[in-house]
Amino acid sequence: MSKQNRKPKPKTPKINKILFAETENKYFFLYHHWYLPLKKRCNKLISFDWRYNLLIYGKKEMNKRFLKIIEKEKPDYVFSWARGDDTELEMLLKIREISPKTKTILFSGDEDTTFETFSRYFILFYDYGLISPNPEKYIPKYNKDGIKNIFPIIGALNTDFFKPINTKKKYDVTFIGASRGKLSKRYEYIKFLKDNGIKIKVFGWGWDKYPKLKEIYGGPLESEELVKVLNQSKISLCFSKDDFGKTEVKGKHFETAACKTFSLTEYSKGYLKYFKQKKEIILFKDKEDLLKKIKYYLKHKKERERIAEVAYKKIIKNYNLDIDLKKLFKVQSKKDFTHKKLPKINKKITSLSKNDLNLSLEKLKNKLKNKDYIILTDRKCKNLPYRKYLQAYSLEKTRKPMSCCNYYVHSKILGDYLYFITKDAFKNLNKENFSSFLNINQFMVTKDYLLNNLQNFKKILNGKKIDFITEKNTAIIALPLIRINKTKIKDYETMKKAFIFYFLYKLFSLKIRKKPALFYYIFALSLEILRGKRFILGALMKILKDKDKKNKLNSYKKK
């Protein structure tokens, strides 16, 4: 067939409306990775700045505003990032009522650390999921749970934004990223390189708290500056450890390669699925190995540039978000769409109090007849929507005997002023402190496990610490599913490892909106400090001294 007679390939039709439920803040990667590719794929991109609305108006009002936009615009798609404590689960299902044709898509870019405790539960409230990296590992896990509408997004990279620009290489070595926790060892590496004479420049949040790095710290970077610095670097570093010291595939390597800049990347086996070692990627395993390779590649410019060129070509060909989105929309345009329903859990659940556990064994067994799962309660908590459902679901899918959720600490005056993160507390605290923060109301257990450990549970309801939680026997759900009125109080340094201090965000919101209630709220916090909650004072003093934290909060403001 001649070229003249060939029919042109049909173009993927543009989507009419997409709602991008993310920040417009150019300091954050979701903006520069996703905003422009989505805009390219639709006639109208509606932006809902989640971070701004959450900080200024609070969770409840933020969710109301979000639904109003859905009702008004009736978008074809809603794209949002995986986060659970600020999104009301019932709101996600409400979307289906007010705009039945709107498809909700959840992007999760950190399955290695979130799948077991968060993503596998949160995805139930969305129509589709996009995951990166390691889709070949996690798509089968989702499918095993019965979740089928999961699509791979490798790299999740906007190559129209991250690209080579004509500029001089003014930096020998750079690192762009937050300082993170101690287990990530980022500070340890940067300090080691500086002490060994490497000319390194550091950009990102959190580094101003290290006086010894003051002369090499360049502050956080907005999107355009980030790309510029990557292009100006001879070597860009990519650290792969998370806050718990576990290595994972990071997007920083993909971003650097897209700018045709040479990257030295901390070893993680996952990278080798995408890049050939020593040809397309150079990995380091420890400080000494990193120092050695920096010195080598600074001296060998041609070899450095050759590897950067090969990695760049690989990125452009295989890891372009725009291509992935094109494929996604093309597949969806050929499918009949119906919202998936929450999977049915055919289990009977009941609650037991202290008085119930003190019944005779025969009476207790009779009370539990035909029951499958039990919530232990001291009657001092409020269940949030889908608490019973999600904890029963977690027991079904993990086959573990216990399920434990996150909780809010609430008061009439302060509202939800603390948010307990079970997973972080488990990883960051010693056993005694972790156990002290656990609340009996967090748990759902199987009937057999309760009866086999009856004496332990009796002691817990009589005030003993819950000290037998392990990763093997407990499914942690990283979602707030209950609200309690009090928790164990410790010093600030201990509390910050287990809680998000919601009262700080409330103060910020009241200050920005110049609400008279600000003074009332400060007074209420002062009373709580006098009542023994000294951690509140510690948090306030810390944020007043922390210029980086204040700048980060201020960066969320509308310009």
Q: How far apart are alpha carbons 254 and 263 in whole angstroms?
A: 9
Count CA atoms within 13 Å of residue 102 on its CB side.
24
DSSP letter assigned to residue 288: H
Mean pLDDT of 257-273: 93
Q: Which residues contact 481 (CB under 8 A, 6 or more apart)?
A: 383, 384, 386, 387, 390, 391, 405, 406, 407
At 8 the pLDDT is 47
Q: How far apart are alpha carbons 46 and 86 in whole angstroms?
A: 20
Tell me if 282 sits within 8 A of 188, measured CB to CB.
no
For residue 197, give the amino acid letter: G
Residue pLDDT, tens place only, 127-136: 999 987 778 8
At 1 the pLDDT is 44
The per-residue pLDDT of the chain, averaged, comes to 89
39 vs 462, more confident:
39
Q: E strands along 261-332, which residues?
A: 262-266, 282-284
Band (pLDDT 50/70/90 cuts) for residue 145 is: very high
Q: How far apart are alpha carbons 226 and 488 in whole angstroms?
A: 42
Residue pLDDT, tens place only, 62-76: 899 999 999 999 999
337 vs 100, more confident:
100
At 93 the pLDDT is 93
Q: Does the N-terminal peptide bond of residue 133 adopt cis geometry, omega within 30 degrees of 0?
A: yes
Joined tokens for residue 132: 């990166």
For residue 534, give the amino acid letter: R
Produce one character per residue of 411-425: b if its CB has 16 or more CB atoms within 10 Å, e if not.
eeebbbbbbbbbbbb
- Three-class secondary structure of residue 298 per DSSP: helix
Joined tokens for residue 1: 């067939």
Pairing label, strands 415-420, 402-411: antiparallel
Tell me if 172 sits within 8 A of 235, measured CB to CB.
yes
Tell me if 203 sits within 8 A of 267, measured CB to CB.
no
At 182 the pLDDT is 79
Q: How many CB atoms lie within 10 A of CB 359?
A: 13
Band (pLDDT 50/70/90 cuts) for residue 511 is: confident
Q: How far apart are alpha carbons 360 and 255 in whole angstroms?
A: 64
Q: How far apart are alpha carbons 240 and 135 in whole angstroms?
A: 18
Q: Shortest CA distance to 48 belongs to which of 101, 251, 30, 98?
A: 30
Q: Which residues contact 452 (CB under 8 A, 6 or more apart)?
A: none
Residue pLDDT, tens place only, 249-258: 888 899 999 9
Asked whether the predicted pLDDT for residue 5 surpasses 60, the reply is no
CA-CA-CA-CA torsion for 128, 134, 135, 137, nearest 10 degrees?
-120
Mean pLDDT of 115-123: 94
Q: How far apart are alpha carbons 120 and 156 in whole angstroms?
A: 20
Tell me if 275 sits within 8 A of 283, measured CB to CB.
no
Count CA atoms within 13 Å of residue 294 on its CB side.
29
At 86 the pLDDT is 80
Beta bridge partners of 419: 408, 500
Q: Which residues contact 296 (CB under 8 A, 6 or more apart)?
A: none
Residue pLDDT, tens place only, 166-185: 999 999 999 999 888 777 89
Mean pLDDT of 228-242: 94
For residue 392, give the amino acid letter: A
Whose tokens are 């409330």? That residue is 506
Residue pLDDT, tens place only, 382-437: 999 999 999 999 999 999 999 999 999 999 989 999 999 999 999 999 999 999 99
Q: How far is CA 506 from the centre of its chain?
A: 21
Q: E strands along 248-363, which residues?
A: 262-266, 282-284, 349-352
Alpha-helical segments (H) within 169-271: 186-195, 223-231, 251-258
Domains of the chain from N-terminus onward: 15-152 (3.40.50.2300), 171-319 (3.40.50.2000), 349-488 (no CATH), 505-559 (no CATH)
Q: How many CB atoms lie within 10 A of CB 452?
A: 11
Residue pLDDT, tens place only, 437-485: 999 999 999 999 999 999 888 888 777 888 888 999 999 999 999 999 9
pTM, two decimal places: 0.86
